[in-house]
Every structure is written in structure tokens, then in C-alpha cells.
Amino acid sequence: MFDDVPRERYGFLPTPLHKMGNLGESLGIDNLWIKRDDLTGLSVGGNKTRKLEFIVADAKRAGADTLVTVGGVQSNHCRQTAAAAAVTGFRCILLLAGAEPEYVTGNLLLDKLYGAEIKYFPDDEFLELNNRLDEILETLQDFGLTPYAIPSGAAMPLGSIAYAEAMFELKDQMETWNFNPKKIVVAAGTGGTLAGMILGAHVAELDVEIVGVSVVSKALELEERVRDLIERTIHDYPQYFESFEPKITIDDQFLGEGYGLMSDAGRSAIEMFAKLESILLDPVYTAKAGTALIRMALSGELNRETPTLFWHTGGNPELYTHADEFFT
């Protein structure tokens, strides 16, 4: 599937699919599995590797010399874009929402190691920075560059294609392992990953409910973004998709104090995954998805007989920036 869409190859794919026996036992779910997109490769992995394989190929096709993208100061997406630029010879310009920190650590440290050029926007939210991309591209063009803009989270149809493709990867692994999840739990920021997964599940004919755990927006706003991206992807790639009414399930109960802030429940989820499975979650995205999974098990929404898949989307460099919030 999607073989005629240009693609770079730097991910370690397929990513592992394996059972989380200890966590499953503790939560009372016999068949609890995890898809390890924290192990995709490209700068310690994460969900942007798959998207960037298609997007960087498109930037090459467009004759660009510079990748420009936006995110928070500790953006995983920006870190992976900087890494992709480093390995493919692009210049990389990152527009980061927030003030320049005194201490460079986590993803920001890696951005710098990969040679990205960074501009800080202390007064902007990261989703709003998308609105500035056009103006900044024009300035870069005036300076003789050929920039290629990637919206925050790589939330664009090519990114959705990547996650639609990932559902075919999952389908193969489900057959190999004889594992048929009824629910998938995944973190959702811009919603691009979720949009791709919903599209992929539809065309791969997987009968599974995908729950996107929102980390930044209220459910209705995120649902709107996911629907819009699904529609744009269907529009841009009619050879693969036909119009359909997508079932978009968003859980926004775990936003906590807001984007980027670790909640007490998130910290417990991080500790539980680490102690029982040696799997590292990040405080901003996957800890909130982990919290949702745990809460679903405790409330009885998931039970022993519900084969469940936790889709890990990466992000662990951020964990180290929150070290002082553990064991206090």
C-alpha cells in the first residue's frame, strides 16, 4: 500500500509489537500489548519518524534546501525534524514557542547537536505558530533559500499516509501473533497520528476502536482537526481512499493542568510502566495516554477479555527535563 508515494527510509520498521504481561496482570487485562513507536529510530525514536520519511522525500521532490517547522521548546517533533535534516543534508530552522531557557537539555539539546537553527517566540502557543509559517517562509525566500514548511506535529496529509501505512504493519503483526485488539489507546496532540490511524484502520478493514487521548485541546476542537485532516488526506490521495464517515473517539479527561505539565496521575503512570515493564513514558504525551489506559482498566471499561493495544509514540528525552518532579 502507498508504494508510489515517495519515501525516505530511516526508520527501524516494523517496530516491535509485544505483550505487557506484568502491567496487564496488575490492571486485570489478559491481553495487553504495546506497539513500540518509541523505537522507530531517528534520534531515539518517536511517531515523527514515520511521518518524516514521507515528508522529507516530498521536500526533496520539491527541490527544497531548508526544512522549517514549529513546536514547543521541548518539541519531540522538532527534534526529529532536526535529526532528519541532519541525515539528509537539509538546513533546519526551528520556530519554538516559548522563551529561550537558561539551561539547554532534553530535546532542545538534541536540536542543537543536530545543527538546527533556532528562533524563540516567547509569546506564542505552539499551535498558533503555524500561522506565522507563511510570513517566515517569505523572508527565507528573500534570503535566497528554498524552504519547505512542515506544520506542527507534521500534521499534514503525508503524515497521515505514514500512520495509515502503520496500520497495515500492525495488521501483519496481528496475524503473526494472533492478537486482535478491540481497543487502541494513543496520545494525540495535533491529531495527525490519530487521523492516519483511523484512515489506515478503515482501509485495512481492522475492527478496532482507536481512542485518542488529547494532551493539548478539548475533545471537540481536536475532533474537528482530526476530521479535517482525514478529509484532506482523502482529497489528496483519491487513489487510496474513498470518502467515509470516520468514528473519531477522543478522551480529553487527562489534559491536567495543561500542555507540557506533568500531572500526579501522569507521574504514577510513568512509574508504573517503568517498574513493571521497563518502558519509559514521557510526561507530556504518553504519560497522559498511559493514565487513560490505567483509568479505563480501573473503571471497568477495559476488562480481562478486552484485548488492548497501547500505542507508544515516543518522547522520552523530555522525561529527563522533569527529573526534579520525581522522588521529592
Ligand X SMILES: Cc1ncc(COP(=O)(O)O)c(C=O)c1O
Binding flag, residue 153, ligand X (CB under 6 A)? yes
- Give the type of residue at 212: G
Contact 92, 59 (CB under 8 A): no
Measured distance CA(160)–CA(164) in Å, rounded = 6
Pick one of 98, 192, 260, 266: the residue that binds ligand X (CB under 6 A).
Answer: 192
Cβ nearer to ligand X, comparing 278 with 299: 278
Q: Which of 26, 43, 75, 299 is catalytic?
A: 75
Residues 6+ apart with CB under 8 A from 35: 15, 16, 17, 170, 309, 310, 311, 312
- Give the type of residue at 19: K
Cβ nearer to ligand X, comparing 31 with 290: 290
Contact 55, 25 (CB under 8 A): no
Cβ nearer to ligand X, comparing 206 with 222: 222
In the range 92-151, which residues lie near ligand X by CB under 6 A? Answer: none
Residues 6+ apart with CB under 8 A from 99: 73, 120, 122
Q: How far is the CB of 96 from ligand X (least distance, A)?
A: 13
Binding flag, residue 200, ligand X (CB under 6 A)? no
Using CB under 6 A as the binding criterion, the count of chain residues that bind ligand X stands at 20
- Give the type of residue at 83: A
Q: Residue 317's closest CA among 294, 285, 271, 291? A: 285
Choose one: 20-28, 53-61, 191-199, 201-209; the region binding ligand X (CB under 6 A). Answer: 191-199
Cβ nearer to ligand X, comparing 24 with 192: 192
**Residue 148, Cβ neighbours under 10 Å: how many?**
21
Binding flag, residue 11, ligand X (CB under 6 A)? no
Pick one of 254, 273, 285, 310: the residue that binds ligand X (CB under 6 A).
Answer: 285
Binding flag, residue 77, ligand X (CB under 6 A)? yes
Measured distance CA(238)–CA(240) in Å, rounded = 5
Cβ nearer to ligand X, comparing 52 with 206: 52
Binding flag, residue 46, ligand X (CB under 6 A)? yes
Residue at shortest CB range from ligand X: 315
Cβ nearer to ligand X, comparing 17 with 289: 289
Binding flag, residue 187, ligand X (CB under 6 A)? yes
Choose one: 86-94, 129-137, 169-177, 309-317; the region binding ligand X (CB under 6 A). Answer: 309-317
Contact 190, 155 (CB under 8 A): yes
Residue 43 falls in the annotated catalytic set: no
Written as one string, the DSSP assignment of 269-307 is HHHHHHHHH-----TTTHHHHHHHHHHHHHHTSS-TT--
Interface with ligand X by CB under 6 A: which residues? Answer: 46-47, 76-77, 153, 155, 187-194, 282, 285-286, 313-315
Instruction: Enumerate the active-site residues.
Output: 75
